Chains A and B, each alone.
Chain A
Amino acid sequence: MSAAEQTAAVPLRRPETTVAGWQRAALLLAGLALAILPAFLLESFQLFQLTMAVIMALAVLGLNIVTGYNGQISLGHGAFFAVGAYVTAILMSHLDWSFWATLPVSAVVCGLVGYGVGFPALRLGGLYLALTTFSLAVAVPQILKHKAIEDWTGGVQGLFLVKPDPPSWAPFDPDQWMYLVAVLVSAACFLLAWNLIRGRIGRALMAIRDHPTAAEAMGMDIATLKTRAFATSAMITGIAGSLSAVAVEFVAPDSFTFALSISLFVGMVVGGVASILGSLFGGLFVLFVPNIAETVSKAAPGVIYGIILIGFLFILPDGFAGLLRRLYARARRGAG
């Protein structure tokens, strides 16, 4: 389409696309209220599942920062999830820390590990990076079982811990409180990620993914941005790991196999690559669809899961986020 046709098709003075501050705040509050509601409606087990789905969504968000927005394929984000979970579990069970105190430590440790992984990632593009991160995901459960650190990690047995207690003033049982904690921590991370992506750094991450040479010519320091993107991504997924440790009240090496990393990857693709909101849907998908598959066929749930997954990608090739985008575009055209 030529510029002239575009000019003719679109009114020159378009209505302001930015939403007013109070509208955004109202939307945020409504969303938060909607997110809190299930705590009072669902049975304990369903609420636990939803808690885990929110946690998975947060982990997918982390992966989306580095793979979706920055184009660095990671098949090993389960490793950061495991590190986050173990940092929280070790601090809580050995040193009697409160859950809240472990969160910043877990974030920092995972950030540092992510930064370390980010360095070789600079030299390894595309498929090589995918394989390197894959080997990380395979190695971490084995490292956690290793004798040298068994005293801390509990070896194959893992570690037991307890959910954070609801504050005395609040009329919640521990399950409800756990759900609310997961929602609040995740909501905070989603908000921070949203800010990050729509600003200067987010544009730089996408620019590097789309055209590295041009990105450098715009003054973007690719090495610094890529390693920091990796660190940020690992930090977010690690926080999700911390939440999962207390939600499950147990960590063990075999909870963090390579399958977890692939689950996160599936969640990212199904939700929408390079989409903040899509990550939320991705988390729900990877947690609930395997359960649905199990109810359909006890004998071969993997087959059913595969069929649902393929069907989903066939209908929505650009993920759930793509569907939202199309609906939004249609609504805007309808309104204008």
Chain B
Amino acid sequence: MALLEVEEVFVRFGGVTAVAGVSFAVDDRQICGLIGPNGAGKTTLFNVISGIYRPTEGRVRFAGQVVTGQPRHRMAPLGLGRTFQNLALFRSMTVRENVLAGAHSAGHAGFLANALRLPAARREDAAAAGRAAQLLAMLELEAVADVPVADLSFGTQKRVEMARALICGPKLLLLDEPAGGLNHGEVDGLAELLRDIRARFDLAILLVEHHMNLVMRVSDKVVALDFGRKIADGTPEEVRSDPEVIRAYLGDGGSHAHAA
């Protein structure tokens, strides 16, 4: 059984069909790239998987359980971590506090237990602080740990989001355009980081990305969308040489080649 199963998902906004019957699966420990030209429905599909949108038809299973229609805050405890396309950090909080906020679903202590600092609350806090320290070290955020996130560069903030998504030990990490806004060197670093994360945290990654080079380099499997339909699904080599993918990216005239 695959970790994530997307089954015949349709999303319609009024008369527009953004996603038209897409199915694919992501296995444990697999890095899957979701690609497609602008407007192909990648982000819509991403939002369906992360629970932001409810599909018009079809469903998503995660670890064997149907998750479509679940309240949004139930996704993280199931083992679904995510980052956002445009940064979505808690701006007034420091780097460390942001990462600790990511550990929310690992804890249970409520208002009373926290106000009284009951042993359970202390234990949870200590455990979260320990994991946060490890992640800050791994993502080279130690030096800025106690700086408000709003003061940091874009690339650094992206690493904070990654740490925040990882602290709960997700089984699947959803990354929405992680390379967006990064320079060449930073993209190289990201490719390495993604493989490193998979190895260390024993998780699968679903990557929605414009940056073809990155997707082809790190993915075990690539799913290509165009006009809301799945046009290819396979290894990076298979997808890269698929005639429909080439047509979608290069156009019939083949005038602007942005597929690397």
Q: Which residues of A contact B82 (CB under 8 A)?
A: 217
Decide yes or no whether B156 CB sits under 8 A from chain A. Answer: yes
Contact assessment for B114 and A199 in the assembled complex, using a CB-CB cutoff below 8 Å: yes
**Given the contacts A1-B153, A3-B156, A221 and B115 also touching, CB distance less than 8 Å:** no
Q: Which residues of A contact B164 (CB under 8 A)?
A: 218
Q: Which residues of B contact A10 (CB under 8 A)?
A: 143-144
Contact assessment for B88 and A220 in the assembled complex, using a CB-CB cutoff below 8 Å: no
Considering only CB atoms and an 8 Å cut-off, how many residues of chain A contact the other chain?
A: 37
Minimal beta-carbon separation of A226 from chain B (angstroms): 12
Name A194's closest neighbour in chain B (CB-CB): B115
Q: Which residues of B contact A206 (CB under 8 A)?
A: 90, 92-93, 97, 101
Contact assessment for A219 and B109 in the assembled complex, using a CB-CB cutoff below 8 Å: no
Contact assessment for A219 and B75 in the assembled complex, using a CB-CB cutoff below 8 Å: yes
**Other-chain residue from A2, A196, A214 in contact with B114 (beta carbon distance below 8 A):** A196
Docked complex: B89-131 residues within 8 A CB-CB of A = 89-93, 97, 100-105, 107, 109-111, 114-117, 121, 124-125, 128
Q: Which residues of A contact B192 (CB under 8 A)?
A: none
Q: Please, how many angstroms separate the alpha-carbon atoms of A209 and B151 in the complex?
A: 19
Among A2, A12, A196, A220, find the residue whose CB has the most chain B CB atoms closer than 10 A.
Answer: A196
Decide yes or no whether A17 CB sits under 8 A from chain B. Answer: yes
Q: Which residues of B contact A168 (CB under 8 A)?
A: none
Q: Which residues of A contact B52 (CB under 8 A)?
A: 213
Among B75, B101, B121, B128, find the residue whose CB has the most chain A CB atoms closer than 10 A.
Answer: B101
Decide yes or no whether A249 CB sits under 8 A from chain B. Answer: no
Minimal beta-carbon separation of A284 from chain B (angstroms): 24
Q: Which residues of B contact A219 (CB under 8 A)?
A: 73-77, 104-105, 168
Docked complex: A174-205 residues within 8 A CB-CB of B = 192-193, 195-196, 199-204
Name B142's closest neighbour in chain A (CB-CB): A12
Contact assessment for B114 and A232 in the assembled complex, using a CB-CB cutoff below 8 Å: no
Q: Which residues of B contact A6 (CB under 8 A)?
A: 143-144, 147, 152, 156
Decide yes or no whether B217 CB sits under 8 A from chain A. Answer: no
Q: Which residues of B contact A140 (CB under 8 A)?
A: none
Contact assessment for A196 and B111 in the assembled complex, using a CB-CB cutoff below 8 Å: yes
Decide yes or no whether B155 CB sits under 8 A from chain A. Answer: yes
Q: Which residues of B contact A1 (CB under 8 A)?
A: 151-153
Minimal beta-carbon separation of B39 from chain A (angstroms): 22
Q: Is the interface of A mostly helix, strand, loop or mixed?
A: helix
Minimal beta-carbon separation of B11 from chain A (angstroms): 18
Q: Which residues of B contact A215 (CB under 8 A)?
A: 90, 101
Contact assessment for B110 and A201 in the assembled complex, using a CB-CB cutoff below 8 Å: yes
Contact assessment for B115 and A192 in the assembled complex, using a CB-CB cutoff below 8 Å: yes
**Other-chain residue from B89, B116, B151 in contact with A211 (beta carbon distance below 8 A):** B89
Considering only CB atoms and an 8 Å cut-off, how many residues of chain B contact the other chain?
A: 51
Summed over the interface, the residue pairs from A and B with CB atoms below 8 Å come to a total of: 127
Interface 0/1 of A226-266, CB less than 8 Å to B: 00100010000000000000000000000000000000000
Contact assessment for A2 and B121 in the assembled complex, using a CB-CB cutoff below 8 Å: no
Minimal beta-carbon separation of B57 from chain A (angstroms): 24
Decide yes or no whether B50 CB sits under 8 A from chain A. Answer: yes
Decide yes or no whether B24 CB sits under 8 A from chain A. Answer: no
Q: Please, how many angstroms separate the alpha-carbon atoms of A277 and B71 in the complex?
A: 36
Contact assessment for A210 and B92 in the assembled complex, using a CB-CB cutoff below 8 Å: yes
Contact assessment for A211 and B73 in the assembled complex, using a CB-CB cutoff below 8 Å: no
Name A210's closest neighbour in chain B (CB-CB): B90
Q: Please, how many angstroms separate the alpha-carbon atoms of A274 and B93 in the complex?
A: 12
**Given the contacts A213-B52, A218-B104, A201 and B73 also touching, CB distance less than 8 Å:** no
Decide yes or no whether B140 CB sits under 8 A from chain A. Answer: yes
Q: Which residues of B contact A12 (CB under 8 A)?
A: 142-143
Decide yes or no whether B146 CB sits under 8 A from chain A. Answer: yes
Interface of B toward A, CB cutoff 8 Å: 50, 52, 71-77, 82, 84, 88-93, 97, 100-105, 107, 109-111, 114-117, 121, 124-125, 128, 140-144, 146-147, 151-153, 155-156, 159, 164, 168
List 8 extra interface pairs beyond A215-B90, A219-B73, CB under 8 A: A3-B141, A14-B146, A199-B125, A200-B100, A200-B109, A211-B89, A216-B73, A218-B104
Q: Offer 21 A-B interface pairs, CB within 8 angstroms, sorted by A.
A: A1-B152, A3-B152, A3-B153, A3-B159, A6-B144, A6-B156, A12-B142, A195-B115, A196-B111, A196-B115, A200-B107, A209-B92, A211-B89, A211-B90, A213-B88, A214-B84, A217-B50, A218-B102, A219-B75, A219-B76, A219-B105
Interface of A toward B, CB cutoff 8 Å: 1-3, 6-7, 10, 12, 14, 17, 192-193, 195-196, 199-204, 206-207, 209-211, 213-222, 228, 232, 274
What 9 A-B pairs come out closest when comparing CB atoms?
A219-B105, A219-B76, A214-B88, A210-B90, A199-B114, A192-B115, A216-B72, A3-B156, A196-B115
